[in-house]
Amino acid sequence: MNIHEYQAKSVLRNYEIQVPQGIIINNKNEIKEKLSLIDYERYVIKSQVHSGGRGMAGGIQFASDKRDTQQVAENMLGSILHTVQSGSSGIKINKIYIEEKCEIDKEYYVSIVFHRPTSSIVIIGSAEGGQEIEGIAKTHPDKIKKIYINHNIGLQDFHIRRIGFELNIHKDYMMQFKSVIKSMYRCFVEKELIQLEINPLIQNKFGFVALDAKMNCDSNALFRHSDMLAFDEYDEENSIEKEALKFGLNYIKLHGNVGCMVNGAGLAMATMDIVQKYEASPANFLDVGGGATIEAITKACDIIMNDKEVKVIFINIFGGIMKCDIIAHGLLKSIYKNNAQKLPIVARLVGTNFNVAQQIIQDAGFKNIILLDDLEVAAAEIANQLKENN
C-alpha cells in the first residue's frame, strides 16, 4: 500500500528525520484558512498523488508570497495531472501539501527496498539526488551504490560508513548522515515497509532534510500497523475495489468489453489473457477466492454488470474448494437484481458440484446464459457473442 508524501513525512518526523514544515490542504475551502496559520519565506505547492514525475507535469510549483500561493493552490486542487505514469486519463489532484522551501547545498538519493531475488533488504544511494533514479540507472549505473543487508543481522555501522564514503558525504556531516540512515532503517523494519525512498535527501547548513518521501507498506502486515492502515483512503478511482475487498473479492478495474469473474488469481490472469487471444479486451481482473458466499458472488456479478463498458460476461470457475452451485445461485440473484436478462453471459463451470450448478441455471431458463465446459471453446464463444451483439 502506497501512502502520500505528506503522510510519509509525518512518519519520518517520528523517526527524527528532518522534513520541511508543511500543511495539508484537502479542499478549496481550506486554502485561505490554512494559509493564515503559516508564514514561510518561500512556498512550495505540491500535489499529493500516487504517481512519480509530478514535477515535470506541473504538479510541483513555487511561489514567493501567500497571494501567489493561494492562486496556485486554487488552480491545482481539483485539476487533472498528466504524468508519464498516470496514463491517458491522468490523475485528479484531491490534496495539496504546502511546504516551506529549503536551502539546498547538496542533493542525494537514498532508499531502502525489499530485494525480491535475494529476499534481503538493500540500501540504495546516489550522489545524484533530485533526479529520476531510473534515468541515472540507465546512463550512469556506476553512480548508484547498493548495500545488501541480511535482515537477521541488521544494519551495522560498517554498512552506514560504506554508504557515507560511497556518496562522498563531507566529514562534518557524516555523523548526522549516519543518524538519518539508522532512522530510515529503523522505520523500514518497524513499519514493515517494502520501500522507503527519499529523493532528494538534501544537505544544507542545518543538516539533512527529506525533501520528498515515498513509502510503500506491506499490505499483509497492515493488520499490526493500525497507524499506517489509517493512511489508507477512499477515492473515486478505487472505491469499487475497496468495496469489493469487503466481500473478500479481489477486483481491479481495467478498460474493456468482457467482464471476467474467476476463482484464483493465476486463473483470473490467464482468463484475461485468453480473452485477449480472441481479440476481445478484459474489462477487469476479478478473483472471487475459494470461500466466497452466495452474497459475495452476487456482489461480484453486480460489479461487472454495472460496468458500462462490459458487453459480455465471462465466468470461469474451476471449483475445488469453491462450489459451482454457489456461483450459479449468486449469478442468478444478480441477473434478477440488475435486470440483466439480455446481457450475454458465457459460463464455464467445472469441478465441485458443476452438474448441480448446470441444473440450477437450466431450470432458471435465462436465454442469455451459455454453459460450456471447455475453456478454449468458451473463450471463442465470447468473441462470437461480441460480434453478434455489435
Partner 1 sequence: MSILIDENTKVICQGFTGKSATFHCEQAIHYGTKIIGGVTPGKGGSTHLGLPVFNTVQDAVNQLQPEATIIYVPPRFAADSILEAIDASISLIVCITEGIPVHDMIRVKNALNHSASMLIGPNCPGIITPGKCKLGIMPSHIHLPGSIGIVSRSGTLTYEAVAQTTQIKLGQSTCIGIGGDSVIGLNFIDCVKMFLQDPQTKGIIIIGEIGGIAEEELADFIDDYHIKKPMVAFIAGKTAPPGKRMGHAGAIISGHHSTAQYKIDRLSKSGIFISDSPAQLGSDMLKHLQNNL
Site for partner 1, rule CB under 8 A = 85, 114, 116-117, 119-121, 150-152, 189, 192, 194, 218-221, 223-224, 250, 252, 254, 262-270, 272-277, 282, 285, 287, 290, 318-321, 350-352, 374-376, 379
Q: Is 108 a catalytic residue?
A: no
Q: Which residues pair with 22 in a beta bridge?
A: 99
Minimum Å distance from CB 246 to partner 1? 16
Q: Which residues pair with 347 in a beta bridge?
A: 315, 371
Contact 203, 125 (CB under 8 A): no
Residue number with CB closer to partner 1 (71 or 85): 85
Residue number with CB closer to partner 1 (133 or 340): 133
| Terminal CA-CA length for the chain | 40
Active-site option among 40, 109, 173, 185: 109
CA distance 131 to 58: 15
Q: All 3 cell numbers of residue 285?
A: 481482473
Which residue, chain included where needed, has cell 494559509? 35
Minimum Å distance from CB 56 to partner 1? 18
Cβ neighbors of 343 (< 8 A, separation 6 or more) are 305, 310, 312, 313, 335, 368
User: CA–CA distance from 170 to each of 106, 167, 191, 390 (Å)?
Assistant: 10, 9, 30, 68
CA distance 287 to 273: 14
Cβ neighbors of 78 (< 8 A, separation 6 or more) are 28, 92, 93, 94
Minimum Å distance from CB 251 to partner 1? 10
User: Tell me, what DSSP letter sits at residue 30?
Assistant: H
Of 387, 374, 11, 18, the C-alpha closest to 215 is: 11
Minimum Å distance from CB 120 to partner 1? 7
**Computed from CA positions of residues 40, 46, 47, 51, in that sequence, does the dihedral angle turn out positive or negative?**
negative
Residue number with CB closer to partner 1 (80 or 265): 265
Q: Which helix (H) or strand (E) holds 33?
A: helix 30-35
Residue number with CB closer to partner 1 (318 or 366): 318
Minimum Å distance from CB 360 to partner 1? 20
Cβ neighbors of 155 (< 8 A, separation 6 or more) are 123, 149, 181, 182, 185
Contact 364, 325 (CB under 8 A): no
Residue number with CB closer to partner 1 (222 or 305): 222
Minimum Å distance from CB 149 to partner 1? 10
Residue number with CB closer to partner 1 (78 or 154): 154
Active-site option among 99, 197, 251, 381: 197
Q: Is 197 a catalytic residue?
A: yes
Residue number with CB closer to partner 1 (127 or 189): 189
Minimum Å distance from CB 322 to partner 1? 8
The residues that are catalytic are 109, 197
